[in-house]
Structure 1
Amino acid sequence: MSAFMTHLSFEFKTGIRNKNLLLMNYLFPLGFYLLMGAIMPGINPFFRETMIPAMVTFAILAATLLGLPDPLVSARESGIFRSYKINGVPASSILFIPGLTTGMHLAIVTLIITFTAAFLFDAAVPSNGLNFFITIVALSMACSGLGILIGVVSPSTRMTVLFSQIIFVPAMILGGLMLPFNMLPEAAQIIAQLLPATHAMNAFNGLAMGLTADFNPWASVAILASSGLLAFGLALYLFSWDSKNSQRRGHPLLALLVLLPYVIGILVL
């Protein structure tokens, strides 16, 4: 347990001391939050109703999808994981602790956004704090799992950018952060339901903000949580200690199984 706590403390401090992680965990999401808070209500007054969940969702997407994969790939390429293996550090800790510490940083950012948005921008506050918290946890699980899975299967730091942007950019456009789900064309709605941001905003609206959900909000929470658990499981199965290893326990394309809960959601909801 002492080794786990030491590793956890080191990773948490790294999230503040490392300039790239500091940018993704704090500066980028909070800067974007202030920018959108100053601009969007003038363009769309209804944005105030979903501003807090939208900015929290953005913060989680940025910290996990853009911040988590690169350090994992860099550590594997530099041989750090080999030294971990020699010293008996399990693969589960290598994957779980970065996700946990990122979640701790996100908790701070979420509190800042939640408690300042109403004062600074007259944003609507959550009507149900417990459901708001549950949705945040489910979204954090889903996105942290995706970020870690990308770091595990990506062959290089350059590819992490590509894989992360494949999810991040559509989430910004189709995920309900700026444009409501019900305003999307039918084909775009199907694509949107493959994104964690869509299910997060649906759950936030229906369970925490007192707004109308576009489909079952509890199903969205279940999809997010199950996809997060599946992503962590796949990452652990596909994990490689060394980038020079020619053998893997499974093909990297197995990572696409993480989409299974979302596909089932499209068929059922």
Structure 2
Amino acid sequence: MNAFLYGIGLQFKLDIRSKSLLITCYLVPLLFFAIMGGIFTSLMPEAKDTLIQSMTVMGVSMGAFVGVPPSIVEIYGTDIKKMYHANGIPLSFGLSSLIISAFIHLLIMSGIIFFTAPLAFNAVIPSDLPLYFGVLVLFIIVSLCIACVLGLMVKSQAKLTMYSQIVFLPSIMLSGIMFPADLLPAFLENTGRLFPASWAYILLSQKETTFSNFLPLLLIFITAFILSGLLLKKARAE
């Protein structure tokens, strides 16, 4: 247990020094928040009601889908994996420590947006905070599970960039955070519901919800979790 906690702490420190993760988990999301927050609230004053939710969805999606998969490839697509084998370290250790570290970073970034938006743009704070943070935690976990699938499935960094963008861009453009999703053609609106960002934005923006509203996110989580397990098992056999 102590070794596991030490690994998480070490990975957290390495991530802080990683330019890639620093850019995707902090710099780009917070810069987008600073610029687009002002634009949204100036052009559409009603955007203040959901500014925290929309900027958080964008930041988590960026950090998880663009920032995390390359770090996974660095472990499982290089000789680092052989070092794990040589020292008798389970391959799941590297993935677990990386995901927990990324979870903490994304939660910190989301917290910065949550506390800064009301001060900078007079954004409305969600009325049900336990529901908001519960959905946020679930959304981050689901997004990181999808990141695991991307990082374990694609071994080439060049190809990984393409696949990450294929997941990230529709997540943002079709989720409703840029403009109402009901303005989209039915096909694109339904396509957007395949991504966790759409459901997370709906749940984060609601004042109250039922368990059935969580089912799509839970289904995506279960699917991504099973795929990650199968891909990790395949990586052990290679």
Instruction: Give the TM-score taking structure 2 as reference length.
Output: 0.93
Once the two structures are TM-superposed, the CA of residue 217 in structure 1 deviates from its matched residue by 6.2
Q: Which shows bigger deviation, 145-154 or 78-87?
A: 78-87
Once the two structures are TM-superposed, the CA of residue 219 in structure 1 deviates from its matched residue by 3.3
Provide the secondary structure at the position in 2 that maps to 1:65: helix
Whole-Å separation in 1 of the counterparts to 2:97 and 2:225: 12
Q: Which shows bigger deviation, 228-237 or 56-65?
A: 228-237
Q: Which residue in 2 is equivalent to 1:136?
A: 136
Q: Counterpart amino acid of 2:6?
A: T
1:222 counterpart = 2:219: no
| Higher relative helix content | 2
**2:52–2:113 contact (8 Å) kept in structure 1:** yes
Provide the secondary structure at the position in 2 that maps to 1:126: coil
Q: For residues 224 and 70 of structure 1, do their structure 2 counterparts lie closer, same or farther at Cα, with a shift above 3 Å needed?
A: same
**2:172–2:178 contact (8 Å) kept in structure 1:** yes
CA deviation vs aligned residue, 1:98-125 (integer Å, no higher than 9, x gap):
1111110111111111111011101111
Whole-Å separation in 1 of the counterparts to 2:65 and 2:151: 9
1:24 counterpart = 2:24: yes
Whole-Å separation in 2 of the counterparts to 1:77 and 1:174: 31
**1:73–1:155 contact (8 Å) kept in structure 2:** yes
**2:59–2:109 contact (8 Å) kept in structure 1:** yes
Q: Which residue in 1 is equivalent to 2:228?
A: 235
Provide the secondary structure at the position in 2 that maps to 1:178: coil
CA deviation vs aligned residue, 1:187-223 (integer Å, no higher than 9, x gap):
2211111111110111112246xxxxxxx76434232
Q: Which residue in 2 is equivalent to 1:249?
A: none
Runs of at least 5 residues in structure 2 that lack an aligned partner in the other structure: none
Whole-Å separation in 2 of the counterparts to 1:124 and 1:30: 18
Q: Counterpart amino acid of 2:202?
A: N
Once the two structures are TM-superposed, the CA of residue 241 in structure 1 deviates from its matched residue by 4.1
Q: Which residue in 2 is equivalent to 1:184?
A: 184
Superposed counterparts of 1:129-168, under 5 Å? 129-168=129-168
Whole-Å separation in 1 of the counterparts to 2:210 and 2:164: 25
Whole-Å separation in 1 of the counterparts to 2:64 and 2:159: 16
Q: Which residue in 2 is equivalent to 1:174?
A: 174
Once the two structures are TM-superposed, the CA of residue 94 in structure 1 deviates from its matched residue by 2.2
Kindly report the root-mean-square deviation, in angstroms, between the aligned alpha carbons of the 2 structures.
1.9
Superposed counterparts of 1:8-87, under 5 Å? 8-87=8-87
Q: Give aligned-pair identity as a percent.
A: 29
Whole-Å separation in 2 of the counterparts to 1:220 and 1:14: 37
Once the two structures are TM-superposed, the CA of residue 224 in structure 1 deviates from its matched residue by 1.6
Whole-Å separation in 2 of the counterparts to 1:65 and 1:220: 23
**2:126–2:207 contact (8 Å) kept in structure 1:** no
How many pairs are equivalent? 237
**2:77–2:155 contact (8 Å) kept in structure 1:** no
Q: Which residue in 2 is equivalent to 1:127?
A: 127
Q: Which residue in 2 is equivalent to 1:251?
A: none
Runs of at least 5 residues in structure 1 that lack an aligned partner in the other structure: 209-215, 246-269
Q: Which shows bigger deviation, 197-206 or 229-238?
A: 229-238
Q: Which shows bigger deviation, 17-26 or 231-240?
A: 231-240
**1:82–1:241 contact (8 Å) kept in structure 2:** no
